[in-house]
Amino acid sequence: MRLSFVFCVACYCEVNASAGGDSGNVALLAKRGLGLNAASARRGFEVYWQVCSRCHSLELFKLGDLKHLGYSKAQILYLANGGHISKRLELPYSSKAQAKAFNNGIVPPDLSLVVKRKNAEHIKNVLFGYASVYANTTARNYYYNYSFDSGVTLMPPTLVDGVVKYASKARANLVQYVLDVSEFLTWVSEPWTNFRGWLMLPAISIFSLICGLIYSTLRRFDLELV
Q: Over 166-205, what HEC string results?
A: CCCCCCCCHHHHHHHHHHHHHHHHCHHHHCHHHHHHHHHH
CB atoms within 10 A of CB 63: 24
122 marked as binding residue: no
Say which DSSP state 55 is in: T
Mean pLDDT for the stretch of residues 81-104 = 89
52 marked as binding residue: yes
Q: What is the pTM of this model?
A: 0.69
Q: Over 125-158, what HEC string results?
A: HHHHCECHHHCCECCCCCEEECCCCCCEECCCCC
Does the structure show a pLDDT above 70 at 13?
Answer: no
Give residue-wise pLDDT tens across range 154-174.
898 899 999 999 999 899 999
Does the structure show a pLDDT above 70 at 17?
Answer: no
Give residue-wise pLDDT tens across range 45-57.
999 999 999 999 9
**Per-residue pLDDT at 36:** 77
**Per-residue pLDDT at 146:** 87
Give residue-wise pLDDT tens across range 112-170.
999 988 888 999 999 999 876 555 555 567 888 888 888 888 898 899 999 999 999 89
Question: How many domains does the structure of the chain reveal?
Answer: 1
**Per-residue pLDDT at 213:** 77
Give, in order, the Cα–Cα distances in Å from 11 to each of 4, 16, 35, 206, 220. Answer: 11, 9, 19, 12, 25
56 marked as binding residue: yes
Q: Domain of 48: which CATH number? A: 1.10.760.10
Domain of 136 in residue numbering reads as: 2-166+173-225
Q: At what angle do helices 2-19 and 26-34 cross, to 10 degrees?
A: 130
